Amino acid sequence: MAKYEKLALAASPTEKAQKAAKSLRNWFDFVSMDEADAVVVLGGDGYMLQTLHQMIDDARILPAYGMNLGTVGFLMNKREASRSPILDRVNRARSFDVSPLAMTAVTQSGETHRICAINEVSLLRETRQTAKLEIKVGNKVRIPELMCDGVLVATPAGSTAYNFSANGPILPLGCGLLALTPISAFRPRRWRGAILPDHLPIEIRSLEWEKRPVSAVADQREIRDVASIHVEVAHERDLTLLFDRGHSLDERIVGEQFAV
Catalytic residues: 45
Annotated binding-site residue? 216: no
Annotated binding-site residue? 45: yes
Annotated binding-site residue? 219: no
Q: Which of 116, 13, 11 is nearest to 58 (CA)?
A: 116
Annotated binding-site residue? 168: no
Annotated binding-site residue? 119: yes
Annotated binding-site residue? 162: yes
Annotated binding-site residue? 163: yes
| Strand ordering across the sheet containing 64-68 | 7-11, 38-43, 64-68, 239-243, 94-98
Neighbours of 189 (CB within 10 A): 8
Annotated binding-site residue? 46: yes
Annotated binding-site residue? 160: yes
CA atoms of 24 and 126, how far apart (whole Å): 44
Output the known binding site for NAD(+).
45-46, 119-120, 149, 157, 160-165
**Which residues carry a binding-site annotation?**
45-46, 119-120, 149, 157, 160-165
